[in-house]
């Protein structure tokens, strides 16, 4: 595996990984904007429109047909939260040139189509066609509102909203129904102009192509102008001073419990490594304390896992329960939080957790999406740590450091999404 990074111009970065392991390749273009409730809906709707059609293929069907001709080219656009940054992403998933028939240069043509989607959207009289805007508004609202169909995800979303009220972290990437309804074709042009002219851009590629070929495709079809590279910092979450208990109800078979904790801010690579080790022992794996005790020993639930926010001083625990067992589960989870504070884990627990993290770090190159995620991390954070250096960092985490981190884990929220009266 061979990784190269390059600053194409001010505020525009490229990271590419040459690997011959795959029969497909992935290129991503991420525009970074602040995560803000005022604008999230606009960017989200914009991605729907950019992936619907282009100026050159101005009907949905002609755009779909050309993608199929390019070996079922996947061309997706979506928004993604990264801490308190919103990434407006477009990506292509294409067959590797060497597996195409007749030596077609599929990557070159696919990048051309990606460039068309970004720079040359389908407009009428200088704005996005009203018909398309209205159709996509309906689709986006359906997407936002369908979150209730996934109860654990909806409960996590509500817990984040309640615990981080007023912080960008509480904002959903898709935005809000009311704000989607208020958008029009002209406002969307403003969002489009911002990403094309001002937002920092991070391009990644993983696949069989040489760096020079990737650069040729990017320079030919994704020729962005210089811009300032300014990314918002994460807001440190402040504990509200009490433990909030909120119960909401919905027609459902299983109660979902989310516990929210504040932690130390993982703002350095070493602190992130400590957090990862803590999480692996506490609730991040089938060998963790939460899985072994709350599920296996107590038999309280099918799943019970911890989810630390990587760029925020917050940790959530989620589990699905039979109604009426919430307090028993809360006690069992808090007991494991206390066990971590007291250092009641063995040296082999610590070593096994490190082994598991190292396995995941070493395995990243077996998956195209993981490689692209790694590449994005390299250019967005302007770090150049290698996998070996990250492994060293994990190995250097001591038992005392994990306990010190555990002592900062403070309960703040009990959120219950249940189907019956408490």
Q: Footprint of other proteins on this chain (CB under 8 A)?
A: 21-24, 59-61, 64-65, 67-69, 71-72, 95, 99, 101, 131, 135, 138-139, 142-143, 145-146, 148-152, 250-254, 285-287, 291-292, 295-296, 299-303, 320-322, 348, 352, 355-356, 358-360, 362-363, 365-368
Q: Tell me how far, at minimum, the Cβ of 414 lies from other proteins, in Å.
A: 19
Pick between residue 241 and residue 359 the one whose CB is nearest to other proteins: 359
Residue 77: φ, ψ to 5° = -135, 135
Pick between residue 179 and residue 271 the one whose CB is nearest to other proteins: 179
Pick between residue 167 and residue 208 the one whose CB is nearest to other proteins: 208
Helix (H, G, I), strand (E, B) or coil at 219: helix
Instruction: Look at residues 7, 31, 28, 76 and name the one whose alpha carbon lies nearest to residue 194.
Output: 31
Q: Tell me how far, at minimum, the Cβ of 400 lies from other proteins, in Å.
A: 22
Q: Tell me how far, at minimum, the Cβ of 251 lies from other proteins, in Å.
A: 5
Name every residue whose Cβ is closer than 8 Å to that of residue 393 and which is 6 or more positions away in sequence: 269, 270, 273, 385
Name every residue whose Cβ is closer than 8 Å to that of residue 65 and which is 6 or more positions away in sequence: none
Q: Is there a contact between 252 and 322 (Cβ–Cβ < 8 Å)?
A: no
Question: Locate tokens 């109800």: which residue?
Answer: 249
Q: Tell me how far, at minimum, the Cβ of 152 lies from other proteins, in Å.
A: 8
Q: Tell me how far, at minimum, the Cβ of 68 lies from other proteins, in Å.
A: 5
CA dihedral 348, 354, 355, 359 (to 10 degrees): 160
Tokens of 336: 């494991």
Helix (H, G, I), strand (E, B) or coil at 375: helix
Pick between residue 7 and residue 21 the one whose CB is nearest to other proteins: 21
Instruction: Look at residues 293, 260, 263 and name the one whose alpha carbon lies nearest to residue 278.
Output: 263
Q: Tell me how far, at minimum, the Cβ of 207 lies from other proteins, in Å.
A: 10
Helix (H, G, I), strand (E, B) or coil at 120: coil
> What's the order of all strands across the beta sheet hosting 2-9?
2-9, 12-18, 201-207, 24-34, 85-95, 74-82
Pick between residue 81 and residue 289 the one whose CB is nearest to other proteins: 289
Pick between residue 22 and residue 119 the one whose CB is nearest to other proteins: 22
Question: Locate tokens 């981190």: which residue?
Answer: 405
Q: Tell me how far, at minimum, the Cβ of 324 lies from other proteins, in Å.
A: 13
Pick between residue 1 and residue 9 the one whose CB is nearest to other proteins: 1
């Amino acid at each position: 595996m061979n990784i190269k990074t390059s600053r194409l111009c001010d505020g525009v970065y490229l990271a590419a990984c040459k690997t011959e392991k795959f029969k497909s390749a992935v290129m991503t273009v991420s525009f970074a904007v602040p995560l803000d409730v005022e604008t999230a809906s606009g960017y989200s709707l914009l991605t729907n429109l950019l992936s619907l059609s282009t100026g050159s293929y101005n009907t949905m069907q002609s755009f779909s047909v050309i993608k199929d001709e390019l070996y079922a080219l996947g061309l997706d656009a979506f928004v993604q939260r990264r801490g308190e940054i919103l990434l407006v992403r477009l990506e292509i998933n294409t067959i590797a040139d060497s597996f195409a028939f007749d030596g077609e240069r599929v990557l070159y043509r696919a990048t051309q189509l990606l460039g068309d989607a970004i720079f040359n959207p389908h407009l009428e009289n200088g704005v996005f066609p009203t018909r398309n805007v209205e159709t996509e508004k309906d689709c986006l609202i359906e997407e936002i509102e369908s979150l209730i169909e996934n109860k654990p995800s909806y409960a996590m979303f509500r817990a984040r909203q309640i615990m981080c009220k007023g912080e960008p972290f509480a904002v959903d990437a898709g935005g809000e129904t009311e704000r989607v309804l208020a958008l029009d074709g002209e406002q969307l042009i403003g969002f489009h102009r911002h990403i094309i002219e001002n937002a920092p851009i991070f391009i990644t590629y993983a696949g069989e192509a040489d760096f020079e070929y990737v650069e040729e495709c990017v320079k030919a079809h994704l020729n962005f102008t210089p811009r300032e590279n300014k990314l918002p910092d994460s807001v440190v979450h402040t504990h509200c001073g009490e433990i909030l208990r909120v119960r909401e109800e919905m027609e459902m078979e299983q109660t979902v419990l989310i516990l929210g904790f504040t932690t130390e801010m993982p703002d350095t690579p070493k602190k992130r490594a400590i957090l990862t080790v803590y999480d692996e022992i506490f609730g991040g794996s089938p060998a963790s304390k939460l899985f072994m005790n709350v599920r296996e020993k107590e038999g309280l639930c099918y799943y019970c896992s911890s989810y630390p926010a990587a760029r925020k001083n917050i940790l959530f625990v989620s589990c699905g329960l039979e109604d009426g067992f919430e307090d028993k589960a809360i006690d069992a989870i808090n007991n494991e939080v206390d066990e971590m504070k007291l250092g009641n884990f063995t040296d082999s627990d610590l070593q096994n957790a490190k082994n598991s993290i190292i396995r995941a770090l070493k395995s990243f190159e077996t998956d195209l999406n993981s490689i692209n995620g790694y590449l994005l991390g390299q250019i967005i954070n302007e770090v150049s740590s290698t996998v070996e250096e990250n492994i060293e960092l994990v190995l250097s985490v001591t038992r005392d450091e994990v306990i010190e981190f555990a002592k900062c884990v403070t309960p703040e929220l009990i959120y219950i999404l249940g189907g019956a009266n408490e």
